[in-house]
Structure 1
Amino acid sequence: MTAATPGTPGDPAPDLDELLELALEAARRAGALLKDGRPADLAVAATKSSPIDVVTEMDIAAEKLITGLLAERRPADGILGEEGADTPGTSGVRWVVDPLDGTVNYLYGLPSWGVSIAAEYRGETVVGVVAAPMRGETYHAVRGGGAWTGGARLSCRSAAPLDQALVATGFAYVQTRRAHQAEVARQIVPQVRDIRRGGSAALDLCDVAAGRLDAYYERGLNPWDLAAGDLIAREAGALTGGRPGQRASGELVVAGSPAVFASLQPLLDAAGAWHD
């Protein structure tokens, strides 16, 4: 992964509202392409880590649309995209793009998929947008400005004991990792209300922000899977992290309302959710 090239100390900070508007436009355009342009005979263009984890033609087309728009409007910015975009930039701003989070859901015609676009400035996420076209919803946040969908401010759920918490998770497409993740879930299920597996990390994080889930955890996410959703969840009042005392990362992502997060994180650490 190539880090964003920082701007010089004298460079002005970016206008976050401008970055937000651009992210919203890019997500809207990509969402429309994916929703309206999905062919009935959707083909597999390539594979990712295993034959199950597919890359579709539409996935690649959506990333080209997004990165093309970003490069046109802000040519000095860096871009990191799931489908191969990786340019360093010189402005201190880097876009982190997942053009289609929930690819398998999309391939099968399930509605839980989205477009995730985040903007980082000097390594910190400052803008996040997740568009969910089949829900008719777009979630967004600017650092320090709260999390929103449409004109409604998002807020995570109020405090609840862990045994009343609805918790989402995800599973890798590599079989050896899946087996251990299933064992972790087996240990967690008796201690919570129930477990959900939605298939889109970005939407799971937004559902924590919207109060539709009490918590979410997963191992093996990439920066583009979590950048926008992590900011949206935090701006809605949720806590996010990895292992105790660490930030969310590919090792482990945990997000939840503060009380549930405080109870769930040590359980996941003890269960070994952070390793294969």
Structure 2
Amino acid sequence: MLPQRPVLAHRARVNAALLELAVSTGREAADFIRHRRPAGRVDVAATKSSATDVVTEIDRATEELIRERILGSRPHDGFVGEEGQDVAGSSGVDWVVDPIDGTVNFVYGIAAYAVSIAARRDGRVVAGYVVNVASGEQWAAEVGQGAWWLDGDERRPVVAPDPPTLDRALVATGFSYDPRTRARQGAAVASLLPQVRDIRRAGAAALDLCAVADGRVDAYVEQGLHAWDLAAGGLVASEAGLTVTGLDGPADQRLVVAAHPELIGEFLAAVRACGF
């Protein structure tokens, strides 16, 4: 039996409320980061998967702020963050958070690092918010409702533009922190480069996915993304009309590819042939 309209309306209201909480919390977190970041380079507090995979005390403090705001409003939800311990919930909703996506950019003062907050219901991402802390640009999406740029309380729809041909496509990518994996990825990118307009490496997956959504780049490919890298930006991209997929199924840690539906087949074939 198909869900009744009251059930669908209730789900829509819940999703809208989740997005509202993501936006308000993300804006507060972005302000927190701006005020806490000192001039010059930021001290590295620790490393994770390798010597180049860094974390700062501001990462940790920002994630704690986000956790407190979200679970303070919704104490029965779960929480999955890059820098802390996961919290199991009982509501069917969990939050997937990267407090600073693009930490290396943040450390060096490169103006491309973001707060990324997504809400999942029963395992499906239904609301997402990304804010470039340095520039103040904001993107949001709600499943089935579209994607938007946010300017204060104003929403402006984000719709992915028609794509160029593959040989004119500007492609965003990123690299693992593991040296051996990075070497393989570098070889794959080198193989792809002659087939496209050029490659861009901004250093923040959430911002890359939003860039494909609003047409600043034409396609995106990256290996090794975690849920917090993909969740919010991936929803923005898909709700803007892009196809977000993996190598042989859904986008996952093995591979994330995003492009316009008219380009995705040829682009994915090239990505596969290049050895990603």
TM-score, length-normalised on structure 1?
0.92
Deviation of 1:260 after TM superposition, in Å, equals 2.2
CA distance in 1, matches of 2:101, 2:231: 12
CA distance in 1, matches of 2:50, 2:65: 26
- Any residues of structure 2 matched to 1:182-197 within 5 Å, and which? 182-197=186-201
CA distance in 1, matches of 2:136, 2:231: 21
Could you tell me which of 212, 223, 240 is aligned with 1:208? 212
CA distance in 1, matches of 2:258, 2:204: 14
Q: Determine the structure 2 residue equivalent to 1:256.
A: 259
User: Any unmatched runs of 5+ in structure 2?
Assistant: 1-9
CA distance in 1, matches of 2:251, 2:35: 34
8 Å contact 1:160–1:259 — kept in the other structure? no
Deviation of 1:84 after TM superposition, in Å, equals 1.8
Q: Determine the structure 1 residue equivalent to 2:3.
A: none
Amino acid at match of 1:53: D
- Any residues of structure 2 matched to 1:50-89 within 5 Å, and which? 50-89=50-89
SS in 1 for 2:175: coil
Deviations 1:172-214 (A, max 9, x none): 1110000000000011000000000000000000001111110
Q: Determine the structure 2 residue equivalent to 1:118.
A: 118
Amino acid at match of 2:228: W
8 Å contact 1:156–1:238 — kept in the other structure? yes
Q: Bigger CA drift: 83-92 or 257-266?
A: 257-266
CA distance in 2, matches of 1:205, 1:116: 11
- Any residues of structure 2 matched to 1:1-276 within 5 Å, and which? 13=11, 15-40=14-39, 42-150=42-150, 151-244=155-248, 246-273=249-276
CA distance in 1, matches of 2:73, 2:100: 21
SS in 2 for 1:195: strand
Moved over 3 A (4+): none
TM-score, length-normalised on structure 2?
0.92
Amino acid at match of 1:78: G
8 Å contact 1:165–1:260 — kept in the other structure? no
State the identity as a percent. 48
Amino acid at match of 2:260: S
SS in 2 for 1:76: coil
8 Å contact 2:42–2:108 — kept in the other structure? no
User: Any unmatched runs of 5+ in structure 1?
Assistant: 1-11
8 Å contact 1:205–1:255 — kept in the other structure? yes
CA distance in 1, matches of 2:167, 2:274: 17
8 Å contact 1:111–1:134 — kept in the other structure? yes
Amino acid at match of 1:221: L
How big is the alpha-carbon RMSD for the aligned residues of Structure 1 and Structure 2?
1.4
CA distance in 1, matches of 2:47, 2:25: 25
Amino acid at match of 1:35: R
CA distance in 2, matches of 1:133, 1:52: 22
Deviation of 1:272 after TM superposition, in Å, equals 2.3
SS in 2 for 1:83: coil
CA distance in 2, matches of 1:143, 1:197: 28
SS in 1 for 2:148: strand
CA distance in 2, matches of 1:190, 1:234: 27
Deviation of 1:227 after TM superposition, in Å, equals 0.4
CA distance in 2, matches of 1:113, 1:127: 20
CA distance in 1, matches of 2:35, 2:197: 37
